[in-house]
Amino acid sequence: MANMSLEKQKMPELAPDIRNKNFEEVALGYTPEQAVEEAGRCLNCKNKPCVGGCPVQIDIPAFIQKIQQKDFEGAYQIISASSALPAVCGRVCPQENQCEGRCVRGIKGEPVAIGRLERFVADWHMKNATAVPEKPVSNGKRIAIIGSGPAGLTCAGDLARKGYEVTVFEALHVAGGVLVYGIPEFRLPKAIVAREIEGLKAMGVKVETNMVIGRVLSVDELFEQGFDGVFIGTGAGLPRFMGIPGENLKGVLSANEFLTRVNLMKAYLPDSETPIQRGRRVAVVGGGNVAMDAARCAKRLGAEEVYIIYRRSMEEIPARAEEIHHAIEEGIIFKTLTNPVEILGDEHQNVTGLSCVEMTLGEPDASGRRRPVVKEGSRHTLEMDTVIMAIGTSPNPLIRSTTPGLETNQYGCIVTEEETGLTSREMVYAGGDAVTGAATVILAMGAGKQAAKAIDEKLSK
Amino acid sequence: MFRIVKKEALNPTVSKMVIEAPLIANKARAGQFIILRVDDRGERIPLTVADYDRQAGTVTIIYQIVGATTMRLDRLQEGDQLADFVGPLGKPTDVEGKKRVAVVGGGVGCAIALPVAKAMQQAGTVVDSVVGFRNRDLVILEEEFKAVSNEYRLMTDDGSAGQKGLVTDALRELLQQNEYDEVIAIGPLVMMKFVSLLTKEYGVKTVVSMNPIMIDGTGMCGGCRLTVGGETKFACVDGPEFDGHLVDFDQAMERGRTYHAYEQERCNLLKKEAE
């Protein structure tokens, strides 16, 4: 008989007032008892709506059944058949819009905590599993993966499992892409990303850091070096700014720069050589996950007041529900229906304030969300010393400008065949944010997976 | 890891290192830069490529010991390894189709100006060089500059070598005497600012090489942004060379001081450590 509780097992978490002063992981994970209890809430439906909501189609009811039977390794095997990065996805997927959003239990009460269960299984495996993944027998074919973010790592893992000799090229000095430079330690510990990458290496995947493809080697040169196929998973790394006066003042940073200093360069640690401005009053412009990450980092660096400045309302805000919930708990102040029009500075070009206007919501626009309209006479100034722009990113032009014949669209995104990820160049595939523009980890993984399948079908013909 | 093949002090605060980096050596061109990290806790700093040897697979960097990272870098010796060395980044210098240019270098900026002068000369351009230092002890790359220059003007603040005066004094004379397609100025921001103001009077196109604070060097962080002709540009991918008549130098100088206090603190720590 299923556990008919209407609520999920609560996730053990660090207290907000303690955690907003350190970088330790916020959510502590289920105990085995909690996991088994929560797994009991799954009705094991025949038509499995949750699986349809998962971009990599994990057999969710099957792994949850294994948890019910306390066969945690069995559960891991089911997840890892579909997902290369379970410990990551369990932590950062927007489950409310995917698997959990379709869960039957969610019709009356809360859905099954699929994300938390996935995380539990992956963490259990990391802690307890002893079997080293075997290096598959090589099929002699070589694939180059450009970018070591979620798309690239997934594609690499799937191809390595099939016997391809895979080399992943990363521009930065650490592999992991946005998982390392973007998502903070308190949400996704870097040791977990490193473990997932070690797993890929054990399967024979080579990872070459400090390699800016497009500069040090071009895509064409990769083919000359004997690679049989190339997958481009270079993400959307180019930060956008608003184009308002004062954006080049000292104290205005892109979220990318701020988060890279914090997460990749570990600027919050005393022995890191990388500096960071520790703002007292910080405004983060934007309402996505990146904005939440930046705001919560700023708080942890000692800011007295941190604001989220978002031009729509809490109804439209795009960040994951859990991130918003955590941010509010940690004391982040949400100023919605507010839009910056100018950043003010002193004679030394230090930020002193953010001039904003209030917005109201009009008719729905092309995105289906109600369009924000400026409220007349609402201009006002908020005192700030730091402004972080988290209003989105676009794909880096480095690959497209150095790869002749690679078709891109007006936004600079690589054009691909939807089912396969094939680009306008033969044996060049692409996926993730480089194709879609900034999206989620799991969608990038789904694209990496599709491309791996297509590459394999093409090369095993 | 990237091995230091050779290290040589050029003056009391400027050193040269030849680094084993065959892939970068194979692609590097004048005007481009690399980013390095000394060790695992180090920051990423950009340095312009001073020279490269495609056969030997080496890239030469020249750095002034100005901050914590360059102090740390200078403690390494031949045979030691750099944790990270990535490049070549940025756009190379446009050397095509110029009859005569003046290359202006200031201080350690001469290390970057030299490969540009060399590439221009190899492309068949007549190169006149103006280099400036505070005093004779700081003069670097004199022979190397002479080798590629039609005319070589050395200026020092105190007149202890060459002529006494600023690079702009010598450049003004040259601008009066000769017709230039372009002036290339590489050195401290204040020098590039005044060179650009001078060449504007003469209506000579001027290229400056910007070296702002950056992290990744691939367009990702936007920390290196500057205002050029009223538009925001990223030095790492749109540059590092820009039209000197359009660059907002005053803003660039302020932005360059962003972490000044932190840097001082780090340097003092390192100095204490060494004592």
Contact A173 B223 (CB under 8 A): no
Query: Are the C-beta atoms of residues A123 and A29 closer than 8 Å to each other?
Result: yes
Phi and psi, residue A212, nearest 5°: -90, 95
* Chain A residues with CB-CB distance to B86 below 8 A: 171, 173, 210-212, 216
Distance from CA of B217 to the nearest CA of A (A): 9
Query: Are the C-beta atoms of residues B227 and B248 closer than 8 Å to each other?
Result: yes
* Chain A residues with CB-CB distance to B44 below 8 A: 173, 265, 274
Token readout for A202 is: 């054990």
**A304 exposed, middle or buried (CB, 10 Å; 0-12, 13-18, 19+)?**
exposed
Q: What is the per-residue pLDDT for A370?
A: 85
Q: What is the per-residue pLDDT for A1?
A: 60
Contact B254 A241 (CB under 8 A): no
Q: What is the per-residue pLDDT for B35?
A: 97
- Tokens 């099957």 belong to which residue? A62
Q: Is the pLDDT of residue A280 over 90?
A: yes
Q: What is the per-residue pLDDT for B231?
A: 92
Same-domain check for residues A254 and A337: yes
Distance from CA of B111 to the nearest CA of A (A): 22
H/E segment holding residue B47: strand B45-53
A132: alpha, beta or left, given left = phi > 0 and alpha = psi -120 to 50? beta
* Chain B residues with CB-CB distance to A274 below 8 A: 43-44, 215
Nearest residue in chain A measured CA to CA from B225: A248
Of the candidates B86, B219, B257, the beta carbon closest to that of A238 is on B219
Q: How far apart are CA A303 and CA A297, in angstroms?
A: 9
Name the DSSP letter for residue B44: P
Other Cβ atoms closer than 10 A to B45:
24
Residue after which a domain boundary falls, among A362, A391, A420: A391
Q: What is the per-residue pLDDT for B217?
A: 92
* Chain B residues with CB-CB distance to A253 below 8 A: 222-223
Contact A216 B27 (CB under 8 A): yes
Kindly state the average pLDDT of the residues A334-342: 97
Q: Is the pLDDT of residue A132 over 80?
A: no
Contact A250 B41 (CB under 8 A): no
Question: Alpha carbon A319 to chain centroid distance?
Answer: 11
CATH number of the CATH domain containing B74:
2.40.30.10
Same-domain check for residues A102 and A161: no
Q: Is the pLDDT of residue A251 over 90?
A: yes
A171 touches B: beta carbon within 8 Å:
yes
Same-domain check for residues A370 and A439: no
C-alpha angle B104/B108/B110, rounded to 5°? 30
Contact B220 A272 (CB under 8 A): no
Residue after which a domain boundary falls, among B89, B124, B141: B89
Q: What is the per-residue pLDDT for B202?
A: 95
CATH number of the CATH domain containing B162:
3.40.50.80
CATH number of the CATH domain containing A317:
3.50.50.60
Whether residue A187 is contained in a domain is answered as yes
A401 touches B: beta carbon within 8 Å:
no
Three-state SS at B237: helix
Domain coverage including residue A179: 142-237+394-459
Task: Tell me the average pLDDT of chain A.
Answer: 93
A349 touches B: beta carbon within 8 Å:
yes
Query: Are the C-beta atoms of residues A240 and A393 closer than 8 Å to each other?
Result: yes
Tens-place pLDDT, residues A62-98: 999 999 999 999 999 999 888 888 899 899 888 988 9
Q: Which of A174, A210, A264 to mutate to test the interface with B (most CBs of B within 10 A)?
A: A210
Kindly state the average pLDDT of the residues A379-404: 94
A397: alpha, beta or left, given left = phi > 0 and alpha = psi -120 to 50? alpha
Query: Are the C-beta atoms of residues B61 and B34 closer than 8 Å to each other?
Result: yes
Fill in the amino acid letter for A298.
A
Of the candidates B215, B262, B263, the beta carbon closest to that of A257 is on B215
Contact A250 B254 (CB under 8 A): yes
Same-domain check for residues A179 and A270: no
Same-domain check for residues A278 and A207: no
CATH number of the CATH domain containing A23:
1.10.1060.10
Same-domain check for residues B145 and B177: yes
Q: How far apart are CA A189 and CA A211, in angstroms?
A: 24
Strand order through the sheet with B151-156: B163-164, B151-156, B126-133, B100-106, B182-186, B206-209, B241-243
Same-domain check for residues A409 and A440: yes
Q: What is the per-residue pLDDT for A4?
A: 86
Q: Is the pTM of this model over 0.90?
A: yes
Same-domain check for residues B163 and B227: no
Contact A212 B223 (CB under 8 A): no
Stretches where chain B sits below pLDDT 50 are none
Phi and psi, residue B108, nearest 5°: -65, -20
Same-domain check for residues A46 and A177: no
Distance from CA of B192 to the nearest CA of A (A): 20
Q: How far apart are CA A295 and CA A298, in angstroms?
A: 5
Domain coverage including residue B240: 210-275
Which residues of B sit within 8 Å Cβ distance of A? 23-24, 27, 37, 41-44, 68-69, 72, 83-89, 215-223, 225-227, 232, 237, 251, 254-255, 257-259, 262-263, 266
Same-domain check for residues A260 and A363: yes
- CA nearest A285: which of A354, A331, A238, A185? A354
Tens-place pLDDT, residues B201-247: 999 999 999 999 999 999 999 999 999 999 999 999 999 999 999 99
Fill in the amino acid letter for B159.
G
Domain count, chain A: 3
Same-domain check for residues B23 and B72: yes
Q: How far apart are CA A6 and CA A29, in angstroms?
A: 20
The strand pair at A165-169 and A206-208 is best described as parallel
Same-domain check for residues A296 and A344: yes
Same-domain check for residues A180 and A124: no
Of the candidates A260, A271, A273, the beta carbon closest to that of B69 is on A273
Whether residue A11 is contained in a domain is answered as no
Same-domain check for residues A197 and A339: no
Q: How far apart are CA A145 and CA A19, in angstroms?
A: 37
Q: What is the 3-state secondary structure (H, E, C) of chain A?
A: CCCCCCCCCCCCECCHHHHCCCCCCCECCCCHHHHHHHHCCCCCCCCCHHHHCCCCCCCHHHHHHHHHCCCHHHHHHHHHCCCCCHHHHHHHCCHHHCCHHHCHHHCCCCCCCHHHHHHHHHHHHHHHCCCCCCCCCCCCCEEEEECCCHHHHHHHHHHHHCCCEEEEECCCCCCCCHHHHCCCCCCCCHHHHHHHHHHHHHCCCEEECCCCECCCECHHHHHHCCCCEEEECCCCCEECCCCCCCCCCECEEEHHHHHHHHHHCCCCCCCCCCCCCCCCEEEEECCCHHHHHHHHHHHHCCCCEEEEECCCCCCCCCCCHHHHHHHHHCCCEEECCEEEEEEEECCCCEEEEEEEEEEEEEEECCCCCEEEEECCCCCEEEECCEEEECCCEECCCHHHHHCCCCCECCCCCECCCCCCCECCCCCEEECCHHHHCCCCHHHHHHHHHHHHHHHHHHHCC
Q: How far apart are CA B273 and CA A14, in angstroms?
A: 38
Residue numbers of A between 183 and 222 with CB closer than 8 Å to B: 209-212, 215-217
* Chain B residues with CB-CB distance to A172 below 8 A: 216
Q: How far apart are CA B273 and CA B121, in angstroms?
A: 45
Kindly state the average pLDDT of the residues A365-382: 90
Distance from CA of B92 to the nearest CA of A (A): 11
Contact B43 A273 (CB under 8 A): yes
Three-state SS at B147: helix
Fill in the amino acid letter for B86.
V
Q: Which of A273, A274, A347, A386 to mutate to test the interface with B (most CBs of B within 10 A)?
A: A273
Domain count, chain B: 3
Same-domain check for residues A251 and A209: no
Same-domain check for residues B41 and B103: no
Q: Is the pLDDT of residue A134 over 80?
A: no
